[in-house]
Amino acid sequence: MSLLFSTTQLGKLTLDNRIVIAPMCQYSAEDGKASAWHRIHLGQLALSGAGLLIIEATAVEAAGRISPGDLGLWDDATEAALASVLQDIRHYSDTPIGIQLGHAGRKASCAAPWLGGNQLSLEQGGWQTVAPSAQAFNPEDRAPVALSKQDLERLKLAFVDSAQRAAKLGIQLIELHAAHGYLLHQFLSPLSNQREDEYGGSLENRLRFPLEVFHAVRSAVPDSVAVGVRLSATDWVDGGWDVEQSIVFSQQLEAAGSDYVHVSSGGLSPQQKITVGPGYQLPFARDIRKQVKIPVIGVGLITEPKQAEQALQVGDADLIALARAVLYDPRWPWHAAAELGAQAKAPPQYLRSEPHGLKGTLISNKK
């Protein structure tokens, strides 16, 4: 029996298998509103047979977008646009759908990657960024404005509002983005958090705002909605955020009622030095998993079905997330099921696509 294709739980949410499609920014929204691209992109991934599909990092306010093309969920217009996309997807797929809510902080106001990815000037349509401290990501960037305590209260309410909108849309899982150098990660890391109040300095203080946001969101949505956090286990910079601090954060999230943690790394500093290779982030997931009881999602250059299966078998993680690999091969779960002797869901319109000799690998996603 393949572990990758065994059922599991994230909170009260049951998943058919342990394949998670990780959030992947598409930079293709229109003033925060989901577009035809999202209907195509999310639609094909919802037919992949994965156990869970998490919608890309979605800004809780316009100033929290990484780029002008970022998805948002901060008002009735952005909610209505996403509702339309989800309605079409659900007509053809019963794959559980989550959403990652975030704020880019000092890494906001940037061009899309294929346009260079650099910070946009105000004349280019950029905007003033905010952060825990008035310290830019790149030396040549505009300095962000340090957030006041009143700003922090406003942002907590923005996260809550977006979470409630997501729950109203029937989204079954909410992931808070505390990774990749964005706002919540900026509070966690001593490299970006130079505050001298109760939100900076000690580890306890640096954890405070991300934990407050988590508590506020968890309290604001029904228990039936799973809530978890994506974190960067290390900044890959000496003196920065590291796996030991990530373990403390994960333990406090578990105590606060988090249903899982999703372990990535990096993104906070251009000084990072990352050694990249197959499964290069799985050791961090394993270290955290040893110290918590909630499920841990592992990610990072996991591209082959047997590699994913092995990671589960040896205890590196409880679920496996795919990002670039599933963009390259949106039918990855089908092919994994064939290789591992398991079954994956597919729309009935596609059942006859099974290769000769693999009859029964694909099962209908229509009950």
Active site positions, annotated:
182
CA distance 158 to 144: 19
Q: Are 319 and 299 in contact (CB under 8 A)?
A: no
- Tell me the C-alpha distance between 339 and 145, whole Å: 52
At 104, which amino acid appears?
A
Classified as helix, coil or strand, 320 is strand
* CA–CA dist 173, 166 (Å, integer): 9
Ramachandran sector of residue 116 (left: φ over 0; alpha: ψ -120 to 50; beta: rest):
left
d(CA 140, CA 275): 26
Write out the two tokens for 15: 């998943």
Q: What is d(CA 18, CA 52) in angstroms, rounded to the nearest whole number?
A: 8
Nearest to 253 by CA among 233, 281, 228: 228
Cβ of 154: how many Cβ atoms within 10 Å?
A: 12
3-state helix vs strand vs coil in the chain, percent to 5: 35, 15, 45
